Amino acid sequence: MKTAFWGQPDMLRKVYPEETISKIGLAAGEPASFVEDYSPTDAEVIFTTWGMKSFRHEEIREVFPNLKYIFYAAGSVQSFARPFLAQGVRIFSAWQANAVPVAEFTASQILLAGKRYFDIFTGGNAPAKGNYNLKVGIIGMGSVGWRTASLLKRHHVTVLAYDKFMPADIMVEYRASKASPQDIFRECDVISNHLADNPQTRGMISRKLLESMKEDACFINTGRGAQVDHDALYDVMKASPNRTCLLDVTYPEPLPEDHPLRTLKNVIISPHIAGSLGNELRRMSDYMLKEFFSVVVKGEEPTFEVTKYMLEVMA
């Protein structure tokens, strides 16, 4: 079976170590090729990562005439998946692997927020509540949301969660109570956004919701920036210096240097670092290597396959 690593060479080498590249070649029966500059390939299987281009339907068979499988060692496939799925190409993503560090990052921010740690840098002076019985709101219980809730289980916090698709009985597994976005913004001390990125959710975190936050609440966004009304966020954060906002994602991204949010001390903007970095990149390629062995080599059932339906509910 002909395999290829397709995309930006430097990024591919960061994500796929030599050991993984060799194992894929052995399993396929011949070494995988590296296809640079987004050139056409007759491979049946491609391994790729961040930087995967999107294609129109008519372009796919010109660039990938024999393609059957895409293994994507990164997170969201929203930007490119639909035309490939429509033509019968199966797609597998390491979104679960990439969700691990995002959840770890988010849970750590939530616990620090409970200690009012960020006031050291923002100048806020509200009393610390601590994390015992801290009320935490999670908006969206996808891969990152439920992992964050799971990490918080070891701490005595109260979790309110909103998810349109997750039944209330499953929420119990994560010690989360199902709640509306309105309840979460009004009641919670810390609110974390993990909504899926689709047209229905863009702008969903509205001015009305943001204005309902407690005067000393903390809003965290490690999900997607387009879900948040940034103009309203600026007004809300400016109105109460004891509120804290931690943004790892923005819209647009990166946020322009002259954007008003950058002028507020109580808004901390990190450069989209919640996802996989450094050694964490290896986890994503490991997931795709295992999936390749399971599905293509052994003919077993997939674990991380992306379907058309999933695109409606995942980030």
Report d(CA 181, CA 187) in Å as an integer. 10
Report d(CA 237, CA 261) in Å as an integer. 9
Residues 46, 69, single domain; the answer is yes
Residues 290, 180, single domain; the answer is no
Residues 200, 244, single domain; the answer is yes
Look at residue 304 in the predicted model and tell me its pLDDT.
Answer: 96
Residues 92, 105, single domain; the answer is no
Look at residue 37 in the predicted model and tell me its pLDDT.
Answer: 78
Cα→Cα distances 210→46, 182, 265, 269, Å: 43, 9, 18, 18
Supply the CATH number for residue 284's domain: 3.40.50.720
Tell me, what amino acid is at 58? E
Residues 139, 224, single domain; the answer is yes
Pairing of strands 3-6, 45-48: parallel
Residues 132, 261, single domain; the answer is yes
Backbone angles phi, psi at 138, to 5 degrees: -120, 120
Model confidence over 272-286: pLDDT tens digits? 999 999 999 999 999
Look at residue 110 in the predicted model and tell me its pLDDT.
Answer: 98
Report d(CA 184, CA 213) in Å as an integer. 9
Residues 123, 204, single domain; the answer is yes
Starting at the edge strand found earlier in the chain, the sheet holding 69-72 runs 33-35, 3-6, 45-48, 69-72, 90-93, 305-306
Q: Which two tokens stand for residue 233?
A: 């966020």
Backbone angles phi, psi at 173, to 5 degrees: -55, -30
Look at residue 312 in the predicted model and tell me its pLDDT.
Answer: 78
Residues 192, 298, single domain; the answer is no
Residues 155, 74, single domain; the answer is no
Exposure string for 170-188, b = 16+ CB within 10 A, e = fewer: ebeebebebbebeebbebb
Report d(CA 172, CA 281) in Å as an integer. 32
Residue with tokens 């610390």: 128
Residues 227, 132, single domain; the answer is yes
Report d(CA 114, CA 65) in Å as an integer. 54
Classify residue 267 by burial, with Cβ atoms within 10 Å: 0-12, 13-18, 19+: buried
Model confidence over 155-210: pLDDT tens digits? 999 999 999 888 888 899 999 999 999 999 999 999 999 998 888 899 999 999 99
Mean pLDDT of the chain: 95
Q: Which two tokens stand for residue 145?
A: 């949301």
Chain centroid offset of residue 287 CA: 16
Nearest to 99 by CA among 81, 122, 125, 74: 74
Nearest to 38 by CA among 55, 21, 57, 53: 53
Q: Which residues of the chain have pLDDT under 50?
A: none
Total domains, the chain:
2
Look at residue 45 in the predicted model and tell me its pLDDT.
Answer: 98
Residues 246, 287, single domain; the answer is no
Does the global pTM surpass 0.85? yes
Residues 192, 285, single domain; the answer is no
Domain coverage including residue 117: 99-269
Q: Which two tokens stand for residue 245?
A: 């906002």
Chain centroid offset of residue 171 CA: 20
Look at residue 196 in the predicted model and tell me its pLDDT.
Answer: 85
Q: In this structure, are residues 160 and 180 in contact, taking their beta carbons and an 8 Å threshold?
A: no
Q: In this structure, are residues 286 and 16 in contact, taking their beta carbons and an 8 Å threshold?
A: no
Contacts of 284 (CB under 8 A, 6+ apart): 15, 49, 73, 74, 94, 97, 98, 276
